[in-house]
Structure 1
Amino acid sequence: MTPVSALPERLLASWQRSEEYGVSVEDVEPVFTGTFDQESLFFQCGREVLTDLHRTLAAEPISLMLTDAEGLVLNRLSGDHSLLRALDAVHLAPGFAYSEREAGTNGLGLALADRVPTLVRAEEHYSLSLCTYTCAAVPVLDPRTGRLEGSVNLTTWSSSSSELLLALAQSAANNTAVLMLARSRGRSPRPTPRGEVFRVETARLEPGSGTLRSLSTSWTSALSLTKTALAAGRVVAAVGEPGSGRSTVLAQAERETRPRERILAASPPAPQDVEAWLSLWTPELGKPHTAVVLCDVDALPAWVAERLRDLVLHAGGPVPFSMTAERFEDIPAALASLVDTVVQVSPLRDRPTDVLPLARYAARRARGRDVDFTPAAQRALADYGWPGNVEQLHRVVKDAARRTDVIDVGHLPGELRSGPGHRLTRIEAFERDEIIRVLARPGISMKAAAAELGMSRATIYRKIAQYGIRTDG
């Protein structure tokens, strides 16, 4: 294996990040997200370019792929069936995410992380399971906006010549960008990518690994009940509002009960992905020390729940199994019959003391170091009702933390500074947010704010009262 000291600086930094992410050195365990939008301009242009290139390389042991900006493999072309089978074994296949965070140092993951053309040879990969390959990847930017759209990735055996691999990938990426520019008129923006529906998770520094502990009595009681049930071999259903931390309490309890367990976490697939999704369970359930957390089972069709129940029951031995749902009565009967213990997870609004510890945790995850909150920001976070629960809190704080080392109210969405009231129209919400934006500017006077907003001071005071805007400081 390549000595760490011999790695180039970029690869060494990537290895260090891979270690911090908790990526396995032995095996790649990427996320399966299923299908994607095939109407995007990037995908259509990239597929056309790679299809043309594949015609000239059909006899070569090379796999050509497109990925999106998150490392999700969108398609794959190769005339070498033995290479395709080998890539299937490490999940370098359509529907799987291969970002640096998921798979450690690899060509496409590093190209996306650094946004530069990248070649990763053999033992330069972080995971030993990838050391038989050489990967060349080049990021593709939208030629109009400069936004990262994805990458072109070429993969071959590590024993094959790689001298021209990066040049071919660079040519394909350039041709894709040129074709996108030529066809860009009138095209709609890129759709929001779908979330993950399948993940094999090892003990990483995530909420599920138990790295966040000093939380409310409500949370610790739910965690304690879950740990007791799992230790006794019971099947647990964590119920509560979406985003409240149902899967986290299960994963954290699993970590503390059986520290060496692998956790297979899954969410309901789209209808077109059901068969592929079900096919993923059989090889994973047969592996030792694997626990299962099935999220949002209340969204599963009854027939899919029945198929999954049969897979679990015939896995060749007891499988640590738990699930989440909004209400127990909505769990399909086939899975509800397996449940021994029901754990209620309270919404975040009922555990206000958890808000700031969770916010600090989310900020540290986003920045890689501690981030400060001003007293005004702390009050705004603590006083908000969080209808989207912990998931919404993490999203808001991570967005703010990526822009500053000290989060103030001006870095938070407008609704966090408004008191409860009637549902605002789009015009009212815009007006409220503009007032908040101006008033949050350090040292601004009410007279100056009135001039900038084109309002009288009396009108601003009336609007502050109308929208319930806090004017701390």
Structure 2
Amino acid sequence: MAHERPVAVPARLRASWQRSERYGVPPDEVQPVFTGTVDEGSLFYECGSEVLRGLHATLANEPVSLMLTDSEGFVLSRLCGDSTILRSLDRVHLAPGFSYAERNAGTNGLGLALADRAPSLVSAEQHYCSGLWGYTCAAAPVLDPATGALLGSVNLTTWSQSSKELLLAVAQAAAGNTAALMMARGSGHAARPAPRGEVFRVYSDRLPEPRLSGAWQDALAEAEGAIARGRVVVVSGEPGVGKTVLASAARRAVRPRERVLNARPPAPQDADAWLALWTPELGKPDTCVIISGVDALPVSAAEELAAALSAVPAAVPAPFTLTAEDPAAIPDVLGELADTVVEVPALRYRPDDVEPLARSFAGRSRFTPAAMRALQAYQWPGNVRQLRDVVRQAATRADVIDTRHLAPEVFTGGTRRLTRMEAVERDEIVRCLTQPGASVAKAASLLGMSRATIYRKIAHYDIKVPGRSRHG
């Protein structure tokens, strides 16, 4: 390290310094990457900017710069009423269009918040680069309330000699308010539950019974072959596509009597307890751990996990398999352990799988031809998990599932996020159109709309009910 002054460094900061050194970040000069472009069209930018504008009005006379960054650390916006600190920040390029990710600017508040997905405070000499010693940076990550994906961060920067006791709390509140505002303006879906780091045993009877399509079988065969050769496999794919199911099935094919555990990612603050809970299982005979969502792990937890996995004696097959939505987002220390990436195709690319999966999820319930056509026509952005939830919910309503028993989302083709009021209106229109003997005229009467209005609404929400034209 190039720091000349002694400074107490917490463990998270020490790990960040070590990463900064590995990345080759200059310790005496800030050299962030400049992109020159800022995405101002996202819901995250809209809501984050609104929250920061309100906060800026409160802190207008304070020497605090309020910033919004994307998930790569690029500064999207900056608000500050103090010209002195603004000029100073310009000199170190902490400005819109520049990236302050760890690998570009070394240890700093927003870079650490993004790397560890946890609120972070970095003050004075705790920064890796001496050019930042004059500042205190408090940042908190913003996660998508529906998917849990990392969207970016809220960052507050002030002089290092200023009071910083409340700075991190303000950053956390702003990040939470941004996510809440996104939820209010989004589709009205329930927020994704916070990660809890569950660890459970995967039983063979939980695997799908139906014979699935060639695309699924090809991915399964690729995973089986790689596991049998002792390769460390990453099973990738969109949320809900069946990554853990495929990994489990592949392990069972290679080692039928193997005990398979699944470790799901924890909240950042629970990472140490999560690792201590299940990593002792790695050394046990005939045991495999499927570690899910490694691309969502905080970098500090990924480094501890990589150390634990590297300490496991080599074996064929390897005693662990990984899953990730985006293999490119896996922290480097874990990515270096992986030998093979197997992608599970999204359900929309496997239309032949909809019917056998739906019949499996329905249990003793059956489908009318119209209901099955509706299921097969839908694009399933939530993949197999969404299909399972829709079918199981319908099966609680009827032994013979018709279109009126299916969730309204199945009859819409639009991908635009709906407000809560729009979602309620769409659902009511679908409910009326899927009743026995329904017509547009009857639906209009039930809803108190003119036929012309309901036709416009059907087109607006891209509603499609099998067996009924928009003019029927």
TM-score, normalization by structure 1:
0.54
Give the secondary-structure state (helix, strand or coil) at the position aligned to 1:292.
strand
Measure, in 2, the Cα distance between the counterparts of 1:427 and 1:302: 39
Maintained 8 Å contact 1:396/1:413: yes
Match of 2:432 in 1: 438
Q: Percent identity?
A: 51
Match of 2:80 in 1: none
How many residue pairs were aligned? Answer: 276
> Letter of the aligned partner of 2:405 in structure 1?
H
Give the secondary-structure state (helix, strand or coil) at the position aligned to 1:205.
helix
CA shift, 1:237, in A, is 0.8
> Letter of the aligned partner of 1:206 in structure 2?
R
Alignment equivalent of 1:289, drawn from 286, 289, 307: 286
> Letter of the aligned partner of 2:198 in structure 1?
F
TM-score, normalization by structure 2:
0.54
Structure 2 unaligned blocks of 5 or more: 1-189
> Letter of the aligned partner of 1:337 in structure 2?
E
Measure, in 1, the Cα distance between the counterparts of 2:452 and 2:198: 55
Measure, in 1, the Cα distance between the counterparts of 2:275 and 2:451: 62
Match of 1:404 in 2: 398
Distance 1:348 1:273, change over 3 A: same
Q: Output aligned runs, 1:196-211, within 5 Å.
A: 197-207=197-207, 211=208
Match of 1:373 in 2: 367
Measure, in 2, the Cα distance between the counterparts of 1:299 and 1:433: 33
CA distances 1:406-453 after superposition (whole Å, capped 9, x unpaired):
222222222211233755444333222212212222234555433322
Match of 2:449 in 1: 455
Match of 1:469 in 2: 463
The answer to whether residue 380 in structure 2 is matched with residue 344 in structure 1 is no
Distance 1:456 1:295, change over 3 A: same
Match of 1:305 in 2: 302
The answer to whether residue 260 in structure 2 is matched with residue 266 in structure 1 is no
Give the secondary-structure state (helix, strand or coil) at the position aligned to 2:211.
coil
Distance 1:213 1:195, change over 3 A: farther
Maintained 8 Å contact 2:233/2:341: yes
> Letter of the aligned partner of 1:381 in structure 2?
L
Measure, in 2, the Cα distance between the counterparts of 1:325 and 1:435: 38
> Letter of the aligned partner of 1:324 in structure 2?
T
Maintained 8 Å contact 1:198/1:264: no
CA shift, 1:398, in A, is 1.7
The answer to whether residue 416 in structure 2 is matched with residue 419 in structure 1 is no
Match of 2:389 in 1: 395
Match of 1:161 in 2: none
> Letter of the aligned partner of 1:342 in structure 2?
V
Match of 1:70 in 2: none
Distance 1:460 1:343, change over 3 A: same
Measure, in 2, the Cα distance between the counterparts of 1:269 and 1:428: 34
CA shift, 1:198, in A, is 3.0
> Letter of the aligned partner of 2:348 in structure 1?
R
Once the two structures are overlaid, the 10-residue window that deviates more, 256-265 or 355-364, is: 355-364
Match of 1:255 in 2: 252
CA distances 1:91-147 after superposition (whole Å, capped 9, x unpaired):
xxxxxxxxxxxxxxxxxxxxxxxxxxxxxxxxxxxxxxxxxxxxxxxxxxxxxxxxx
Match of 2:81 in 1: none
Match of 1:235 in 2: 232
Distance 1:276 1:385, change over 3 A: same
Alignment equivalent of 1:280, drawn from 271, 277, 292: 277
Q: Output aligned runs, 1:109-188, within 5 Å.
A: none
The answer to whether residue 378 in structure 2 is matched with residue 384 in structure 1 is yes
Measure, in 1, the Cα distance between the counterparts of 2:464 and 2:299: 48
Measure, in 1, the Cα distance between the counterparts of 2:398 and 2:440: 25
CA distances 1:250-272 after superposition (whole Å, capped 9, x unpaired):
11100111111111211221122
> Letter of the aligned partner of 1:285 in structure 2?
L
Measure, in 2, the Cα distance between the counterparts of 1:312 and 1:422: 42
CA distances 1:299-333 after superposition (whole Å, capped 9, x unpaired):
11222222222222323553422111122221112
Match of 1:358 in 2: 357
Measure, in 1, the Cα distance between the counterparts of 2:442 and 2:198: 53
Measure, in 2, the Cα distance between the counterparts of 1:223 and 1:459: 49
Distance 1:373 1:308, change over 3 A: same
> Letter of the aligned partner of 2:252 in structure 1?
R
Maintained 8 Å contact 1:200/1:262: no
Match of 1:326 in 2: 325
Distance 1:416 1:200, change over 3 A: closer
Measure, in 1, the Cα distance between the counterparts of 2:323 and 2:441: 53
CA distances 1:44-99 after superposition (whole Å, capped 9, x unpaired):
xxxxxxxxxxxxxxxxxxxxxxxxxxxxxxxxxxxxxxxxxxxxxxxxxxxxxxxx
CA shift, 1:353, in A, is 1.2
Maintained 8 Å contact 1:386/1:392: yes
Distance 1:326 1:375, change over 3 A: same
Structure 1 unaligned blocks of 5 or more: 1-189, 365-369
Measure, in 2, the Cα distance between the counterparts of 1:249 and 1:397: 21
> Letter of the aligned partner of 1:200 in structure 2?
F
Measure, in 2, the Cα distance between the counterparts of 1:317 and 1:200: 24
> Letter of the aligned partner of 1:247 in structure 2?
T
> Letter of the aligned partner of 1:228 in structure 2?
G
CA shift, 1:194, in A, is 4.6
Maintained 8 Å contact 1:376/1:408: yes
CA shift, 1:296, in A, is 0.9
Distance 1:423 1:295, change over 3 A: closer
CA shift, 1:361, in A, is 1.9
Maintained 8 Å contact 2:365/2:401: yes
